């Protein structure tokens, strides 16, 4: 009963264009794991027609390589303050 699997399946369905089925899958996962915040957030995003946020799963999500490396790097740069740090000697 791992919420990542429910979200992963829902993410794949959503990316294929089947948003209704993705909502059903994430809702079913939420019924099996009622207290999971990631599933709740992703279900709300799907219902609003937005993209799912998988960042909450961290490294476990990144191992599937479903997002481009550039997207991941942009998110990491934004978390660091949005610019590269230059160390000068």
| 3-class secondary structure per residue, 31-53 | HHCCCCHHHHHHHHHHHCCCCCC
Residue 62: the pLDDT is 84
Total-model pTM: 0.75
For the cut 80, the answer to whether the pLDDT of residue 74 exceeds it is no
Structural domain boundaries enclosing 42: 3-58
- Start-to-end CA span in the chain (Å): 51
Domain for residue 9, yes or no?
yes
- Is 47 a domain residue? yes
Domain count within the chain? 1
- Mean pLDDT, range 3-10, rounded to an integer: 95
What local confidence, expressed as pLDDT, does residue 19 receive? 94
Per-residue pLDDT tens digits for 25-63: 999 999 999 999 999 999 999 999 999 999 889 888 888
């Amino acid at each position: 009963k791992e919420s990542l699997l429910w979200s992963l399946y829902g993410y794949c369905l959503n990316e294929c264009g089947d948003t209704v089925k993705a909502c059903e899958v994430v809702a079913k996962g939420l019924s099996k794991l009622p207290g999971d915040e990631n599933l709740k957030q992703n279900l709300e995003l799907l219902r609003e027609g937005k993209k799912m946020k998988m960042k909450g799963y961290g490294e476990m999500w990144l191992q599937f390589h479903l997002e481009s490396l550039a997207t991941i790097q942009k998110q990491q740069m934004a978390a660091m303050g949005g610019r590269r740090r230059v160390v000068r000697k």
